[in-house]
């Protein structure tokens, strides 16, 4: 997993009328990783995502220094549309990415723009809708779909192109807990099946615990932690203001480790956590 699909080197960026929003970014996303990116609002996570496709700075304008390599090529030398064939992006403001009247047209829109043949467009549209749990909804109008269903639809449009890298900015923000869990399970399946690299921005990492291999924490335009997920989590916990970005279970883990000077397992599920906690701890008497 040493090869990098995304590599920022000494990257700085400001929008036309903003302060610096990204500062001294040296970030590597390893090929084949399932990377989660977290951090407070306004930290620069979305800007980082957009930079991976060259949308920042080349579409928005602004000033930058440093370089970004995506899949071994300097973003500066590529058009956004070329990168979009290999890197799929789903924005947090998902409504702004939906442009068609029906679900089928929406998926077909991205395929047709990428020059796929009509027969292939139809087959891929059908498959992509089924993949995200919207089978047979080709003729549904977008306003008949709920917010969560529209997010799934957008994921289908991005997946239909079969990108090598998938960048998702809060892809489950409008989904119920069950929907969020099943979308991430689905995403993991697709990630394994197509050997992709996945980068997900997510406030609530709890749902990603079983899958995530790497973590990036962004704070005030700076990378506060990056690397294999447990190492990055430990670094993050050292900053009290950033702790809330960690999954609840790991906050509990690090809290208890510090409090009692012991080592607990790297829990990937609530049942693992519960089992070890029950073995080693009890509820304080009279404190309930």
263 forms part of the interface with another protein (CB under 8 A): no
CA 267 – CA 276 distance, rounded (Å)? 9
Tally Cβ neighbours within 10 Å of residue 229.
Answer: 24
Hey, which residues does 228 pair with through a beta bridge?
214
Site for another protein in 117-146 (CB under 8 A): 144, 146
Quote the CA–CA distance of 158 and 107 in Å, as a whole number: 8
Q: d(Cα 181, Cα 178) in Å, to the nearest integer?
A: 5
Q: How far is Cα 251 from Cα 206, in angstroms, rounded to an integer?
A: 11
What pairing do the DSSP bridges indicate for beta strands 165-169 and 222-228? Answer: unpaired
Alpha-carbon span 61 to 177, nearest angstrom: 37
**Smaller CB separation from another protein, 123 or 186:** 186
Minimum distance between the CB of residue 215 and another protein, rounded to whole angstroms?
16
The CA distance from 58 to 137, in Å, is: 35
The structure tokens 């924005």 sit at: 91
Phi-psi domain of 91 (left: phi exceeds 0; alpha: psi -120 through 50; beta: other): beta
Task: Answer yes or no whether residue 175 interacts with another protein by CB under 8 A.
Answer: yes
Tokens encoding 99: 């442009």
Q: Write out the binding residues for another protein, residues 198-237 only, by CB under 8 A.
A: 203-204, 206
Which of residues 80, 98, 186, 252 is near another protein by CB under 8 A?
252
Q: Which stretch binds another protein (CB under 8 A): 53-61, 156-164, 189-197, 272-280?
A: 272-280
Interacting residue with another protein among 179, 188, 213, 222 (CB under 8 A): 179
Q: How far is the CB of 268 from another protein (least distance, A)?
A: 13
**180 near another protein (CB under 8 A):** yes
Nearest distance from C-beta of residue 134 to another protein, angstroms: 12
* All residues at 6 or more sequence positions from 104 whose CB lies less than 8 Å from its CB, including other chains: 125, 129, 137, 138, 139
Contact pattern from residue 33 through residue 72 relative to another protein, giving x for each residue in contact according to CB under 8 A and a dash for the rest? ------xxxx---x--------------------------
Give the ranges where 71-146 is alpha helix by DSSP (H).
80-86, 103-113, 118-131
Between 92 and 164, CB nearer to another protein: 92
Least CB distance to another protein at residue 18 (A): 10
Least gap, CB of 84 to another protein (angstroms): 22
Our finding on whether 268 is near another protein (CB under 8 A) is: no
Q: How far is CA 198 from the centre of its chain?
A: 7
Total residues at interface with another protein (CB under 8 A): 52
Residue numbers of the site for another protein (CB under 8 A)?
39-42, 46, 92-93, 95-96, 144, 146-149, 170, 173-181, 203-204, 206, 243-245, 248-249, 251-252, 255-256, 259-260, 270, 273-274, 277-285, 287-288
């Amino acid at each position: 997993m040493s090869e990098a699909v995304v590599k920022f080197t000494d990257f700085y960026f400001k929008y036309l009328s903003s302060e610096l929003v990204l500062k001294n970014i040296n970030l590597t996303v390893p090929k084949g990783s399932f990377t989660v990116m977290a951090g407070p609002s306004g930290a620069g996570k979305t800007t980082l995502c957009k930079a991976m496709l060259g949308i920042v700075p080349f579409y928005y304008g602004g000033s930058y220094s440093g370089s970004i390599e995506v899949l071994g090529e300097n973003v500066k030398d590529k058009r956004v549309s070329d990168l979009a064939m290999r890197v799929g992006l789903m924005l947090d403001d998902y409504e702004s990415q939906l442009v068609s009247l029906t679900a089928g047209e929406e998926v077909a829109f991205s395929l047709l723009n990428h020059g796929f043949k009509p027969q292939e467009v139809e087959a891929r549209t059908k498959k992509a809708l089924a993949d995200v749990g919207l089978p047979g909804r080709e003729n549904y109008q977008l306003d008949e779909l709920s917010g969560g269903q529209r997010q799934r639809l957008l994921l289908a449009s991005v997946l239909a192109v079969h990108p090598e890298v998938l960048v998702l900015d809060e892809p489950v923000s409008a989904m119920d807990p069950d929907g969020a869990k099943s979308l991430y399970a689905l995403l993991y399946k697709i990630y394994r099946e197509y050997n992709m690299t996945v980068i997900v921005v997510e406030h609530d990492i709890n749902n990603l615990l079983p899958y995530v291999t790497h973590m990036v924490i962004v704070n005030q335009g700076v990378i506060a932690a990056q690397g294999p997920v447990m190492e990055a989590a430990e670094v993050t916990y050292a900053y009290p203001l950033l702790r809330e970005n960690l999954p609840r279970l790991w906050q509990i883990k690090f809290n208890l480790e510090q409090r009692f000077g012991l080592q607990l397992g790297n829990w990937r599920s609530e049942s693992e956590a519960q089992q070890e906690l029950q073995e080693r701890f009890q509820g304080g008497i009279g404190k309930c």
